């Protein structure tokens, strides 16, 4: 484990970076550096335990006087609502779906990591910590990641107690499998339905609190504005998506657990309703948006089949355990039936390039190599656009080892899903896969307590930036969501709530009235433009720009072009948008307009962030920064920092604040999986 030598956790192992390049000059305004004032010190293994003890307590009588709003009901939001409700706080839970159990966490397939070392293959809390920091290309905070690894073992116990049906081995013990970016088996799973089963566990725990009266549930409600009173988050403005009513909800603290923004690319593995509006509204109110350009491209998705599609389908990364990835060595073989291509004419390119990890390299590397072989003209499947977008994921060898029944036991629902979507039988013909936008590592900036730079606004799960760096390893999103919801937030938010009960805020307060008026005027503007184009058409055009110039490979000329195109798209959007219907009813056209408006602004910031960071790391690959072998090349001396962007106003430029990343437990190394 090169570079993983244990250090004392008190001595800095690197210096603060000094940026000398400035590709984004003219697109942003430099701001003051920031620090995580809540970050603990001391030996890394003691930091979370010490901090939990240091954080102040809230006695049960005072908890009953405190109100907390939680936006989002996925793993992070559902777990937080259940835990906060169980503790006795008054919780208001919001989701735009018709049921909390439809949150996008339900779509996760492959598994959840935990450093249990059940396989006795060398795993440990430190190894999970090390793999996660390395996998994130040394662009995450070490204190946050160590806490995540430490808490991971508690998550499994919690979920088993809730009845989550994890897979078990022949002896009845919980089973594990391996995932990309690691060489141990630490991933707990429930066939290909892990997200669904974990979400049902959190949902049932939350519904218990709904029945107990500590959690009040608001479905089909979308947060459209954050209420900030005297510098503190004190509530939200939400729209009832069925009646159209604009509602004001006040509280002592607000928690955003609203997921990621991958749908800025239009085509992604996210549910079509997934959006950035909750976090973007908070960003416009002053919350910093951190590392927005860090986007994860998942290597195992069903390829695009044509212009008609509005989303893409994920195939679990767990398939890379037994499936072998290859393309023909010769472009002229790409039209052949793969069963007719002899072994010597197949290029198992991941096994060839990365012999130590093979098909289990991290997602960013597997995705980029798939793009490379397809760009060379060796992609397979139907031609879409100007080339074939697909590589084979072949289970022939695994079926020979385990038989159809053995593969069916591991992956049956995934194989069935693939067959239903493509009309091809993966037991007989290799699957075809291609990378697609999946998860985002960027999000609102938070400190060690998960509190944003707006006092009283806490952010959990994919909505924050804190744990994954520039790349997320497989099976760590579910880990972070449940860690934040069950164990981290309840222990950190209490230090803030210990100052409560806070002075009451009424709906007549000028800041509350202003927030409501902002929402109402924005809706009125959408309805009054009366142009000729739908929100969907703008969303699709934005997605094409983002995928082409801010997707798997970015360059200075491409990003500059993208920024210009997005700025023109924004002007056209606000002059030629057509929204049908009224505000006083169910109106999905209106919903989409608000979400796309926010995506357009986010897309521009993502490109500026990517333009400024003239290095390659994780999911952010700049063409100007690569090794002779075409691997990502970091520049720690310039870019070992978190980019925290402040909203500069409608007519101003975004302001860049930097948080230096200083390591005390792990030395930064160039990643290698060879």
Does the residue 665 lie in any domain?
Answer: no
Q: Are residues 432 and 564 in the same domain?
A: no
Exposure string of 16-43, with b = 16+ CB inside 10 Å and e = fewer, is ebebebebbeebbeebeebebebbbeee
Which pLDDT score is estimated for 1?
46
The count of domains in the chain is 2
Query: Which pLDDT band, with edges at 50, 70 and 90, does 257 fall under?
Result: very high
**Residues with Cβ within 8 Å of residue 482, at least 6 apart in sequence:** 75, 76, 79, 112, 155, 158, 159, 198, 202
Q: Are residues 538 and 630 in the same domain?
A: yes
Q: Are residues 322 and 428 in the same domain?
A: yes
Nearest to 272 by CA among 595, 544, 548, 550: 595
pLDDT digits (tens, 9 = 90+) for 578-592: 999 999 999 999 999
Give the total residue count for the chain: 674
Which pLDDT score is estimated for 3?
45
For tokens 């107990």, name the residue.
212
Last residue in a domain, options 412, 438, 464: 438
| Token couple for 607 | 């490109």
**Residues with Cβ within 8 Å of residue 86, at least 6 apart in sequence:** 205, 209, 214
Query: Which pLDDT band, with edges at 50, 70 and 90, does 5 fall under?
Result: low
CA 209 remoteness from chain centre: 27
pLDDT digits (tens, 9 = 90+) for 535-574: 999 999 999 999 999 999 999 999 999 999 999 999 999 9
Model confidence at 8: pLDDT above 90: no
Does the residue 628 lie in any domain?
Answer: yes
Other Cβ atoms closer than 10 A to 63: 19
Helices and strands (DSSP H and E) totals, the chain: 17, 23
Using CA atoms, how far apart are residues 222 and 72, in angstroms rounded to an integer?
9
For tokens 């090169």, name the residue.
2
Does the residue 526 lie in any domain?
Answer: yes
What CATH number is given to the structural domain containing 310?
Answer: 3.90.700.10
Long-range CB contacts (within 8 A, 24+) of 521-528 = 522/224, 522/594, 523/239, 523/246, 523/583, 523/590, 523/594, 524/583, 526/577, 526/579, 526/590, 526/593, 526/594, 526/597, 527/579, 527/582, 527/583, 527/590
Q: Are residues 304 and 434 in the same domain?
A: yes
Query: Which of 226-240, 297-311, 465-479, 533-547 has the lowest average pLDDT?
Result: 297-311
Which pLDDT score is estimated for 7?
85
What CATH number is given to the structural domain containing 520?
Answer: 1.20.58.100
Q: Are residues 406 and 303 in the same domain?
A: yes
Model confidence at 620: pLDDT above 90: yes
pLDDT digits (tens, 9 = 90+) for 323-345: 999 999 999 999 999 999 999 99
- Is beta strand 457-459 parallel, antiparallel or unpaired with respect to 253-256? parallel
Decide: residue 649, CB within 10 A, 0-12 exposed, 13-18 middle, 19+ buried.
exposed
**Residues with Cβ within 8 Å of residue 423, at least 6 apart in sequence:** none
Q: Are residues 525 and 428 in the same domain?
A: no
Active-site positions read 363
Q: Are residues 536 and 420 in the same domain?
A: no
Which pLDDT score is estimated for 10?
86
Does the residue 621 lie in any domain?
Answer: yes
Average pLDDT, the chain: 95
Nearest to 331 by CA among 288, 286, 264, 387: 387
pLDDT digits (tens, 9 = 90+) for 266-305: 999 999 999 999 999 999 999 999 999 999 999 999 999 8
Last residue in a domain, options 390, 414, 438: 438
Q: Are residues 387 and 518 in the same domain?
A: no
Q: Are residues 406 and 519 in the same domain?
A: no
Does the residue 527 lie in any domain?
Answer: yes
Q: Dihedrals φ, ψ of 409, to 5°?
A: -65, -35
The answer to whether the CB of 478 falls within 8 A of the CB of 195 is yes
Model confidence at 4: pLDDT above 80: no
Last residue in a domain, options 418, 438, 458: 438
Q: Are residues 429 and 531 in the same domain?
A: no
246 backbone φψ class: left, alpha, beta (φ>0; ψ -120 to 50)? beta
Which pLDDT score is estimated for 411?
87
Does the residue 34 lie in any domain?
Answer: no
Does the residue 207 lie in any domain?
Answer: no
Provide the whole-model pTM. Answer: 0.96
Model confidence at 454: pLDDT above 50: yes
The answer to whether the CB of 611 falls within 8 A of the CB of 559 is yes
Does the residue 623 lie in any domain?
Answer: yes
Q: Dihedrals φ, ψ of 443, to 5°?
A: 165, -175
Domain that holds residue 612: 510-635
Q: Are residues 308 and 404 in the same domain?
A: yes
What residues form DSSP beta bridges with 392? Answer: 326, 432
pLDDT digits (tens, 9 = 90+) for 52-102: 999 999 999 999 999 999 999 999 999 999 999 999 999 999 999 999 999
């Amino acid at each position: 484990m090169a570079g993983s030598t244990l250090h004392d956790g008190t001595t800095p192992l690197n210096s603060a970076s000094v940026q000398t390049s400035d590709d984004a000059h003219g697109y942003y305004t430099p701001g003051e550096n920031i620090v995580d004032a809540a970050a603990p010190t001391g030996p890394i293994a003691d930091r979370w335990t010490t901090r939990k003890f240091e954080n102040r307590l809230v006695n049960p009588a005072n908890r009953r006087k405190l109100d907390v709003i939680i936006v989002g009901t996925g793993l992070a939001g559902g777990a937080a609502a259940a835990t906060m409700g169980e503790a006795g706080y008054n919780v208001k839970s919001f989701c735009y779906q018709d049921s909390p159990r439809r949150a996008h966490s339900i779509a996760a397939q492959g598994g959840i990591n935990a450093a249990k070392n059940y396989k006795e293959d060398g795993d440990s809390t430190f190894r999970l910590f090390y793999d996660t920091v390395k996998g994130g290309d040394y662009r995450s905070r070490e204190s946050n990641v160590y806490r995540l690894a430490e808490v991971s073992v508690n998550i499994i116990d919690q979920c088993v107690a809730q009845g989550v049906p994890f897979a078990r081995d022949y002896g009845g013990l919980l089973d594990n499998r391996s995932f990309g970016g690691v060489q141990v088996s630490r991933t707990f799973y429930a066939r290909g339905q892990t997200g669904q089963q974990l979400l049902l566990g959190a949902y049932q725990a939350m519904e218990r609190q709904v029945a107990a009266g500590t959690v009040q549930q608001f479905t089909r409600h979308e947060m459209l504005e954050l209420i900030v009173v005297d510098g503190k988050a004190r509530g939200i403005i939400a729209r009832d998506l069925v009646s159209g009513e604009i509602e004001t909800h006040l509280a002592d603290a607000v928690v955003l657990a609203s997921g990621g923004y991958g749908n800025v690319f239009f085509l992604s593995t996210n549910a079509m309703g997934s959006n950035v509006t909750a976090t973007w509204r908070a960003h416009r109110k002053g919350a910093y948006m951190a590392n927005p350009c860090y986007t994860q491209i998942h290597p195992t998705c069903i390829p695009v089949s044509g212009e008609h599609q509005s989303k893409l389908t994920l195939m679990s990364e767990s398939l890379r355990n037994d499936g072998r990835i290859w393309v023909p060595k010769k472009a002229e073989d790409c039209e052949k039936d793969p069963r007719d291509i002899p072994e010597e004419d197949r290029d198992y390119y991941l096994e060839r390039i990365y012999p130590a990890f093979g098909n289990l390299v991290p997602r960013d590397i597997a995705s980029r190599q798939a793009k490379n072989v397809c760009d060379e003209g060796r992609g397979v499947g139907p031609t879409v656009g100007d080339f074939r977008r697909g590589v084979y994921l072949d289970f022939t060898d695994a079926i020979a080892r385990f038989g159809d029944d053995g593969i069916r036991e591991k992956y049956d629902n995934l194989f069935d899903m693939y067959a239903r979507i493509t009309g091809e039988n993966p037991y007989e013909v290799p699957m075809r896969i291609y990378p697609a936008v999946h998860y985002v590592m960027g999000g609102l900036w938070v400190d060690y307590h998960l509190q944003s730079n707006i006092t009283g606004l806490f952010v959990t799960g994919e909505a924050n930036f804190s744990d994954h760096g520039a790349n997320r390893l497989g099976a760590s999103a579910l880990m972070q969501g449940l860690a934040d919801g069950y164990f981290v937030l309840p222990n950190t938010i209490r230090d803030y709530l210990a100052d409560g009960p806070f002075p009451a805020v009424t709906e007549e307060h000028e800041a509350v009235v202003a927030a409501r008026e902002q929402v109402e005027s924005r809706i009125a503007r959408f309805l009054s433009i009366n142009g000729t184009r739908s929100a969907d058409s703008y969303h699709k055009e934005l997605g094409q720009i983002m995928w082409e110039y801010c997707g798997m490979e970015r360059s200075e000329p491409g990003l500059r072009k993208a920024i210009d195109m997005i700025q023109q798209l924004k002007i056209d959007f606000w002059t030629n948008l057509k929204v049908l219907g009224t505000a006083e009813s169910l109106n999905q056209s209106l919903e989409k307009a608000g979400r796309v408006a926010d995506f357009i602004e986010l897309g521009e910031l993502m490109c500026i962030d990517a333009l400024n960071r003239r290095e390659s790391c994780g999911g952010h690959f700049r063409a100007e920064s690569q090794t002779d072998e075409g691997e990502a090349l970091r520049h720690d001396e310039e870019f070992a920092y978190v980019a925290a962007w402040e909203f500069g106003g409608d007519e101003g430029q975004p302001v860049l604040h930097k948080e230096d990343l200083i390591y005390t437990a792990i030395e930064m190394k160039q990643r290698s999986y060879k």
